Amino acid sequence: MGWAHRKDNVPDANLAMPELPLPNVVGAQVGPPSFESVYRAHGKTVARWAIRLLGPRGDFEDVVQDVFMVVRRRLPEFRGDAEITTWLYEITVRVAQRSRLRARWWSWVTGRGQSPGRGRACETFVPAAEMPSDPQAILEARERTRLLYQILDGLGQAERTAFILFEMEGLTGEQIATITGASINAVWVRLSRARRKFLDRMRAWEAEEQP
Amino acid sequence: MKKYTADPEPRFRDRDKSGALPEDRAGALIRGALVPAEPDAVQLARIERNLHARGSVGGRSPRVLRLGLAALFLVLGAATVKAYELARDAGWLRHDRGAVSPSEKPGATKPNKRSAKTAAPARIPSETEVPAPAIQPLPATPEGEPGPDNAAPEGARKPPRPVRRAALAEIPGNAATAIPDPWQPQQAVVPPAAAAPIAVKAPVLTASQPAAAASDEIRGLDRAVGLLRRDRNAAAALAAFDSYLERYPHGVLNREARVARIDALLMLQRTNAALAALETLPFDSGRRSTELQVVRGELRARGDCAGAERDFSAALSHTPDAGLLERIWYGRGVCRSKQGNQSGAAEDFRRYLERFPEGAHAAWARRWLETTDKSSTTGG
């Protein structure tokens, strides 16, 4: 580095020092992004989260639509204090919880719920990359998915959400606390209860299945 | 209460695959389940279409609907109460009064609460009370003259009051607060000499007045921020921020207003005014503050590279996120180079390229480093 601190040593005349770009605070960095760009960039991810949170019986399209209705309404208030994905996750979790409550209420009022394998919902789950792709294996995996969500349906709303986010989505406790707006201690308590209930219900199912 | 500080246990799905414990079986169940698929383009397009359709209707907020429903229920409730009062006044509900209650029937042992209320005058006689008459055909009464038909309902409502008042007055210490009985001849109320003075709290004025002022202040700022963020009308927002700052020079949201005003100035490309505003703004180590410091560095870089470098370095010490880091390394590199500190600039550009090989200025930084290296080997 022999040229250090020598002003006359800018090597290329064509490579003159650029002016720094204007800090386009409102447009780019600080101001909220446009609704269309958020939808294009994160629509698929939100849909995946919604499917995960709802399970095979939920209508994820409705939830995604509701999530982006909220996003459109609240985007001007988004100040970028948190990552936009965290913000979207938070909205998705709330909308999915509301959707499940609505479905439960509807099922209670009408006296009949959706059948587990009805409609387009089953197509929203696919085998993981490392899974075998033969029809028998897929059928078994589908049955396991149905059972998994059947067990999860016996958990309370908050416990179910904590369980899914931790065990299935692989989020950390801090992330779950941020998304659900709960303290970290509350998250661990919910998770601990959810795990206990999950194991109890799984054992009960196994006892019923075994002759 | 037990405090949890770290993940309590490994996840079920990370447990031993060959284990036989319930936790292991739960892990196998989770691992063996299907995973959510990403929606295809058709589904996404359908959702987007629905979103636009719902938006074009007006995108009515659910809050408005909820308020509407609440108002509807209030109106219905008020209408029900009014209808009841009208029906009672019209005499449609009069058949309830004076009816023989079950407790008055021979052999009745358990008094009904509801009938006890309506039949109370018959069971609690007092000196002012006209006993409720049994239902029987009555002779016509001249209008305006108090007849049994007019007197009975009034009498039926009044009598319990003297009993309650007397009971209240018997409670020690309640003598001073006893309510004069309008059905008794009025007497001069003489407070007992030994009665303790009643301590009356002075009205507290501190709660409502500042709250109203604060809400005015918040409304003022909210309007200005709305103009900037929602309407994107920077000129109007700037005027609103100036008016707000003039009106509330020491308001609780003063800093927020000043920061948002800088946004408006930058939106209007009034960089000198924005820089002047940033010069008077104190910074801390928060994310927003760090970002503003970077913005000031970028603005200063046009004339005061030493000041800009100081800003970038200070922002760097606040552990900024990736977006800011990219701007800091690039900006400081340019400033150092302009000041002749080529080694410092090269260091910044190398760091920039290591972290952001595909960054917005990566191609330029790469070319700068290449030509600088070439020049240093040939020239030095």
Name the residue range of residue B225's domain.
Answer: 216-282
Which helix (H) or strand (E) segment holds residue B216: the answer is helix B208-229
Decide: helix, strand or coil at residue B82.
helix
pLDDT at position A119 is: 41
The last residue of a domain, from among A83, A116, A149: A116
The distance of A181 to chain B (nearest Cα, Å) reads: 17
Among A22-36, A178-192, B236-250, B352-366, the minimum mean pLDDT is found in A22-36
Report the residue of chain A nearest B229, measured CA to CA. A76
The last residue of a domain, from among B250, B267, B282: B282
Q: Are residues A25 and A109 in the same domain?
A: yes
Among A66-75, A190-199, B96-105, the minimum mean pLDDT is found in B96-105
Identity of the residue in A15, A73, A184 whose CB atom sits nearest the CB atom of B367: A15
Name the residue range of residue A69's domain.
Answer: 20-116
The last residue of a domain, from among B236, B253, B282: B282
Q: Are residues A27 and A112 in the same domain?
A: yes
Closest CA relative to residue B193, chosen from B180, B179, B168, B175: B175
Which residues in chain A have Cβ-Cβ distances shorter than 8 Å to B50? Answer: 61, 65
pLDDT digits (tens, 9 = 90+) for B221-275: 888 888 888 778 888 889 998 888 888 888 878 888 888 898 888 888 888 888 8
- Rounded-to-integer distance, Cα A50 and Cα A161, Å: 11
* Cβ <8 Å between A3 and B376: yes
pLDDT at position B61 is: 58
Model confidence at B76, pLDDT cuts 50, 70, 90, reads very high
Among A173-182, B39-48, B198-207, B276-285, the minimum mean pLDDT is found in B198-207
pLDDT at position B39 is: 77
Model confidence at B146, pLDDT cuts 50, 70, 90, reads very low
Average pLDDT value over all residues in chain B: 70
Q: Evaluate whether residue B338 is within a structural domain.
A: yes
Q: Does B115 touch chain A (CB under 8 A)?
A: no
Question: Which CATH number fits the domain that encloses residue A143?
Answer: 1.10.10.10
- Rounded-to-integer distance, Cα B273 and Cα A31, Å: 19
The distance of B371 to chain A (nearest Cα, Å) reads: 6
Which helix (H) or strand (E) segment holds residue B36: the answer is strand B35-36
Q: Are residues A24 and A111 in the same domain?
A: yes
* Cβ <8 Å between B263 and A31: yes
Number of domains present in the structure of chain A? 2
The last residue of a domain, from among A75, A92, A116: A116
pLDDT at position B378 is: 61
Q: Evaluate whether residue A38 is within a structural domain.
A: yes
For A56, the token pair is 């095979």
- HSE of A59 in the Cβ direction (CA atoms, 13 Å)? 14
pLDDT at position B95 is: 56
- Rounded-to-integer distance, Cα B189 and Cα B195, Å: 13
Indicate if the pLDDT at residue A86 is higher than 60: yes
Indicate if the pLDDT at residue B331 is higher than 60: yes
Model confidence at A115, pLDDT cuts 50, 70, 90, reads very low
Q: Evaluate whether residue A70 is within a structural domain.
A: yes
pLDDT at position B367 is: 85
Q: Are residues A58 and A139 in the same domain?
A: no
* Cβ <8 Å between B25 and A202: yes
* Cβ <8 Å between A72 and B59: yes
SS3 for B251-308 is: CCCHHHHHHHHHHHHHHCCCHHHHHHHHHCCCCCCCHHHHHHHHHHHHHHCCCCHHHH
* Cβ <8 Å between A10 and B22: no
Q: Evaluate whether residue B109 is within a structural domain.
A: no
Identity of the residue in B23, B301, B379 whose CB atom sits nearest the CB atom of A20: B301
Indicate if the pLDDT at residue B201 is higher than 80: no
Q: Evaluate whether residue A8 is within a structural domain.
A: no
Report the residue of chain A nearest B340, measured CA to CA. A7
Q: Is B305 exposed, middle or buried (0-12, 13-18, 19+ CB in 10 A)?
A: buried
Amino acid at A68: F
> What does the pLDDT average to over A18-46?
66
Q: Are residues B248 and B332 in the same domain?
A: no
Contacts of A191 (CB under 8 A, 6+ apart): A159, A162, A163, A166, A173, A176, B8
Contacts of B45 (CB under 8 A, 6+ apart): none
Task: Report yes or no on whether pTM surpasses 0.95.
Answer: no
ipTM score assigned to the predicted complex: 0.72
In chain B, the percentage of residues whose pLDDT exceeds 90 is 5
Q: Are residues B374 and B350 in the same domain?
A: yes
pLDDT digits (tens, 9 = 90+) for B94-144: 555 444 444 444 444 444 544 444 444 444 444 434 344 444 444 444 444
Q: Does B255 touch chain A (CB under 8 A)?
A: no
> What does the pLDDT average to over A112-137?
62
The distance of A118 to chain B (nearest Cα, Å) reads: 17
Q: Where are the alpha helices (DSSP H) in A55-183?
A: 60-74, 84-110, 135-152, 157-163, 173-180
Number of domains present in the structure of chain B? 2
Q: Does B334 touch chain A (CB under 8 A)?
A: yes
Q: Does B371 touch chain A (CB under 8 A)?
A: yes
For B56, the token pair is 């074009």
Q: Evaluate whether residue A29 is within a structural domain.
A: yes
Question: Which CATH number fits the domain that encloses residue A45?
Answer: 1.10.1740.10
* Cβ <8 Å between A148 and B43: no
> What does the pLDDT average to over A155-167?
90
pLDDT at position A123 is: 62
Among A173-187, B108-122, B317-331, the minimum mean pLDDT is found in B108-122
The last residue of a domain, from among B282, B312, B327: B282
CA distances from A29 to A116, B291, B310 (A): 45, 9, 21
Closest CA relative to residue B236, chosen from B244, B226, B227, B245: B227
Q: Evaluate whether residue B170 is within a structural domain.
A: no
Contacts of A136 (CB under 8 A, 6+ apart): none
pLDDT at position B144 is: 41
pLDDT digits (tens, 9 = 90+) for B263-307: 888 888 888 888 899 888 888 777 788 888 888 988 888 888 889
Q: Which residues are A46's β-sheet partners?
A: none
pLDDT at position A189 is: 92
Indicate if the pLDDT at residue B5 is higher than 80: no
The last residue of a domain, from among A96, A116, A136: A116
Q: A66-95 burial, b if ≥16 CB within 10 A, otherwise e? A: bbbbbbbeebbebebeeebeebbbbbbbbb
Among A31-35, A197-201, B174-178, B225-229, the minimum mean pLDDT is found in B174-178
Q: Which one has a higher pLDDT value, B94 or A210?
A: A210
CB A184 within 8 Å of CB A172: no
Report the residue of chain B nearest A173, measured CA to CA. B7
Question: Which CATH number fits the domain that encloses residue B323?
Answer: 1.25.40.10
- Rounded-to-integer distance, Cα A153 and Cα A160, Å: 8
pLDDT at position B187 is: 43
Q: Evaluate whether residue A86 is within a structural domain.
A: yes
Q: Evaluate whether residue A13 is within a structural domain.
A: no
pLDDT at position B195 is: 40
Which helix (H) or strand (E) segment holds residue B35: the answer is strand B35-36
CB A135 within 8 Å of CB A110: no
pLDDT at position A29 is: 43
Q: Are residues A143 and A191 in the same domain?
A: yes
* Cβ <8 Å between A24 and B364: no
- Rounded-to-integer distance, Cα A32 and Cα A77, Å: 8
Decide: helix, strand or coil at residue A125.
strand
pLDDT at position A80 is: 67
pLDDT digits (tens, 9 = 90+) for B156-185: 444 444 444 444 444 444 444 444 444 444
- Rounded-to-integer distance, Cα B355 and Cα B364, Å: 15
Model confidence at A39, pLDDT cuts 50, 70, 90, reads confident
Identity of the residue in B229, B262, B337 whose CB atom sits nearest the CB atom of A76: B229
Q: Are residues A52 and A134 in the same domain?
A: no
Among A103-117, B131-145, B201-215, B218-232, the minimum mean pLDDT is found in B131-145
Contacts of A101 (CB under 8 A, 6+ apart): A157
Cα distance from N-terminal residue to C-terminal residue, chain B = 68
